[in-house]
Structure 1
Amino acid sequence: MAYPDNLLSRGEKVVLHKHPHWKVLILPAVLFVVFIGGGSALAAVLRHWQYHSIAWIVIGVIALLGLIFFTVVPLIRWRTEHFVITNFHVFFRTGILHRREHQIPLGHIQNMETSVSFWGRLLGYGSLIVESAADQPLEFENVASLPKVQSTLNQLIMDDRNRYQIGSDGLPGPGPGPGVQPARYPPAPGV
């Protein structure tokens, strides 16, 4: 079962599911080329050396460890980091061996802040800081298509608040539909 399907409540639907922006994979891709190309070039230079077979083994081990730690691990980290918006919650999960997960109900979100660098404006990513009623502010970095995410989240928060608006009897209930003004009554005599 794909994340976060096992966490959804009845009637809850995934509206947006994102991984970090692809820019986090640029450095691992460059390092992949460097390790493969550099290791091959170094092995070719050392082929006439007396201990070239030992040197090739050392180069191969260093290149393999470099590929694992600097290319495969960031790729897996990118793949396992999720930013999900549903019609009831915001989910965030990250981690390979040690997993960290946050779940914020839309009704608890009090404020959102965005931070977009110069490169973020050019490539279309930024950071989203969400302040909720119960927790410390959470910062989601490298969010792709940040304006779309922010507008979707704003709309869902408004829909959630309209769903649980307080009725005239003081009890929670469905609020008036969009564009419907609440009924206004004249003040009681003597008030």
Structure 2
Amino acid sequence: MAYIDDKLGRGEKIVHQGHQHIIVVAVKSIKWVGLFVVAFIAALWILTTNPTEEWQKTAKTVVELALALTCLIAFVKLFIDYLVWQAEEYLVTNERVIKIWGIINKNLSDSSLDKVNDVEMYQSMFGRLWGYGTIKILTGNETGANEYDYISKPNDFKKAMLDAKNGFFGDASDVALQERTMRTQPQPMPIPPQPRFYEERGAAVPRQQAQPPNYGYQNQPQPKAAPANPSQADIPTLITQLAILRDQGVLSEAEFQEKKNDLLRRM
């Protein structure tokens, strides 16, 4: 896991990662490179000599050890400068600008994008040729400005900052709002189980019988059974009750017409 992974907030993501230009290593290590070259050439020259006296041989050995130690120190210093350059990172997230430096003792400084007032970029002639420049971030903090020198591809770094500040990559509040909405959103009602059939005396019978549609007759009294020999005064009432049963789906249209004609013949 990278050092920055557990330093990011909820919903925060890295949108650009930059370093200082490799020329920084060359500038810082040029003296050590020169010392390494001089010591190496001097060691080769001494190795070609052939001293005759005993003290000359001893002096030659001491000089050779000193030159070898000088070459080793120069090489180690050059390697350390490279590690320092590699460990120094400039990150742009959708919330802030972060600078990380240090090999063993890690250091971190950041500037919130909300407090960034302006971003300035400066490139010298050699900076334009080699692709490096200086980024100056003007903030509302007490320090006033953060200046990053020798940034590789400074134009891409500045564009990433401006896009992040303008909300092009979103922000952490979007994630928080989404999680809060998911917690407060009502959960869907569970679907009731469908009636299952079970075997009863060899026949499939549903557990719950479906009720016939009412069609607006909820408040009307249910029709009573028709008497065996209705009087002429009861026949209109019976026909009305038959119509209700037809509308409720109890009687078909043919059954309704048959019973209706039967009652009319009795009038």
Secondary structure, counterpart of 2:118 in structure 1: strand
TM superposition score normalised by structure 1: 0.74
User: 1:90-142: per-residue Cα shift (whole Å, max 9, x none)?
Assistant: 10022345544211121111111112111111111111111222241111111
Partner residue in 2 for 1:146: 154
Residues 1:23 and 2:23 are matched in the alignment: yes
User: 1:127-185: per-residue Cα shift (whole Å, max 9, x none)?
Assistant: 1111222241111111111111111111111117x979xxxxxxxx9xxxxxxxxxxxx
Partner residue in 2 for 1:130: 137
> Highest Rg: 1 or 2?
2
Secondary structure, counterpart of 1:143 in structure 2: strand
Residues 1:111 and 2:102 are matched in the alignment: no
Matches of 2:123 and 2:152, distance apart in 1: 11
Partner residue in 1 for 2:39: 39
TM superposition score normalised by structure 2: 0.55
Partner residue in 1 for 2:108: 101
Q: CA deviation at 1:32?
A: 6.4
Matches of 1:28 and 1:73, distance apart in 2: 11
Gaps of 5+ in 2: 178-267
Matches of 2:132 and 2:40, distance apart in 1: 35
Q: Residue type matched to 1:120 in 2?
A: G
User: 1:7-41: per-residue Cα shift (whole Å, max 9, x none)?
Assistant: 11111111111121122233467666544443232
Secondary structure, counterpart of 2:167 in structure 1: helix
The 1:29–1:151 alpha-carbon spacing in structure 2 relative to 1, beyond 3 Å, is same
Q: Is the Cα contact below 8 Å between 2:19 and 2:88 reproduced in 1?
A: yes
Q: CA deviation at 1:43?
A: 1.2
Partner residue in 2 for 1:63: 71
Q: Is the Cα contact below 8 Å between 2:29 and 2:81 reproduced in 1?
A: no
Partner residue in 1 for 2:189: none
Partner residue in 2 for 1:11: 11
Secondary structure, counterpart of 2:121 in structure 1: strand
Matches of 2:146 and 2:132, distance apart in 1: 17
Q: Is the Cα contact below 8 Å between 1:16 and 1:84 reproduced in 2?
A: yes
Matches of 1:93 and 1:33, distance apart in 2: 27
Gaps of 5+ in 1: 165-172, 174-191
Matches of 2:75 and 2:28, distance apart in 1: 9
Give the CA RMSD over aligned residues: 2.5
The 1:28–1:108 alpha-carbon spacing in structure 2 relative to 1, beyond 3 Å, is closer
The 1:163–1:80 alpha-carbon spacing in structure 2 relative to 1, beyond 3 Å, is closer
Which of 78-87 and 104-113 deviates more?
A: 104-113
User: 1:32-89: per-residue Cα shift (whole Å, max 9, x none)?
Assistant: 65444432321122232422111110111122222223x1221111011110001111
